[in-house]
């Protein structure tokens, strides 16, 4: 019997998640080696590890820009809007009281928003570290704490994400959505009851949503810059 599936889960297909995953683990391994000088020696020299860390960071940013440039941008924008909007049903879902979910459940939305904020903060703090070596006025004492703190937070989040995607039986079927772009209809109707079926035209997220925080990433950035400035001024 042919599989009954729901529409594409991600506008970028598997390209963006794969680029993110490969780059994240590359930067994590090289970053940890930079943090632990003994480990950097095992990879050659600290200088070599740092070059690889920065090369992966540059490649990561370029690949994400290419993915955005070559994707269906209208679909990408719809996806971003859908992720940004959190409503009463999402709060109910997050607090374990049910609440019907759309294409992304509230946990997936929160995770995506956090990772977007982390991407902005990693890039900002990484660039400050890099420019700080060339211009001492950009050498802010809080930057390395922020970069290290983000590494810990992002690693915890990614570990939980991998556990849910690869191990936990009730959430594991969602992995297929990331890799193949579709999920089984029965799975979708059970876990994503308000999602639009493939046969109907895609519509924007419901207008009842409360917040539209692409702003979240910017707020996190502003908070981090304020924190760095505060550390700098004390």
Report the distance separating Cα 178 and Cα 139, nearest Å: 39
Q: How far is the CB of 157 from ligand HEM (least distance, A)?
A: 11
Give the Å distances, CA to CA, from 73 to 27, 67, 108.
Answer: 27, 10, 21
Report the distance separating Cα 131 and Cα 137, nearest Å: 9
Report the distance separating Cα 30 and Cα 40, nearest Å: 8
Q: Does 131 engage in binding with ligand HEM (CB under 6 A)?
A: no
Count residues near ligand HEM (CB under 6 A). 23
* Closer CB to ligand HEM, 8 or 220, in the complex: 220
Binding span for ligand HEM by CB under 6 A among 65-73, 81-89, 127-135, 172-180: 127-135
Cross-strand bridge partners of residue 211: 86
The one among 15, 17, 92, 151 contacting ligand HEM by CB under 6 A: 151
- Nearest alpha carbon to residue 161 among 85, 99, 107: 107
Binders of ligand HEM in range 54-83 (CB under 6 A): 54, 57, 61
The one among 55, 95, 130, 189 contacting ligand HEM by CB under 6 A: 130
Report the distance separating Cα 103 and Cα 220, nearest Å: 25
The one among 9, 11, 116, 154 contacting ligand HEM by CB under 6 A: 154
Report the distance separating Cα 232 and Cα 140, nearest Å: 6
The one among 6, 19, 31, 228 contacting ligand HEM by CB under 6 A: 31
Q: Does 28 engage in binding with ligand HEM (CB under 6 A)?
A: yes
- Nearest alpha carbon to residue 102 among 194, 190, 207: 194
* Site residues (vs ligand HEM, CB under 6 A): 24, 27-28, 31-32, 34-35, 50, 53-54, 57, 61, 122-123, 126-127, 129-130, 144, 147-148, 151, 154
């Amino acid at each position: 019997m042919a599989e009954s599936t729901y529409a594409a889960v991600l506008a970028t297909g598997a390209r963006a998640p794969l680029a993110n995953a490969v780059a994240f683990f590359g930067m994590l391994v090289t970053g940890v080696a930079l943090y632990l000088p003994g480990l950097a020696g095992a990879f050659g020299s600290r200088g070599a590890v740092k070059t690889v860390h920065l090369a992966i960071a540059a490649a990561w940013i370029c690949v994400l820009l290419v993915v955005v440039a070559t994707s269906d941008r209208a679909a990408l924008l719809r996806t971003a809007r859908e992720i940004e909007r959190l409503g009463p049903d999402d709060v109910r879902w997050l607090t374990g009281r049910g609440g019907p979910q759309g294409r992304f459940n509230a946990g997936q939305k929160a995770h995506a928003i956090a990772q977007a904020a982390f991407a902005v903060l990693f890039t900002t703090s990484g660039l400050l570290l890099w420019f700080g070596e060339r211009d001492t006025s950009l050498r802010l004492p809080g930057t390395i704490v922020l970069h290290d703190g983000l590494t810990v937070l992002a690693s915890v989040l990614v570990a939980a994400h991998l556990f849910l995607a690869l191990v936990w039986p009730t959430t594991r079927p969602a992995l297929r959505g990331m890799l193949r772009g579709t999920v089984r209809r029965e799975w979708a109707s059970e876990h994503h009851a308000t999602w639009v079926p493939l046969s109907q035209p895609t519509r924007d997220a419901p207008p009842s949503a409360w917040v539209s925080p692409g702003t979240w990433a910017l707020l996190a950035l502003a908070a981090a810059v304020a924190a760095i400035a505060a550390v700098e001024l004390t």
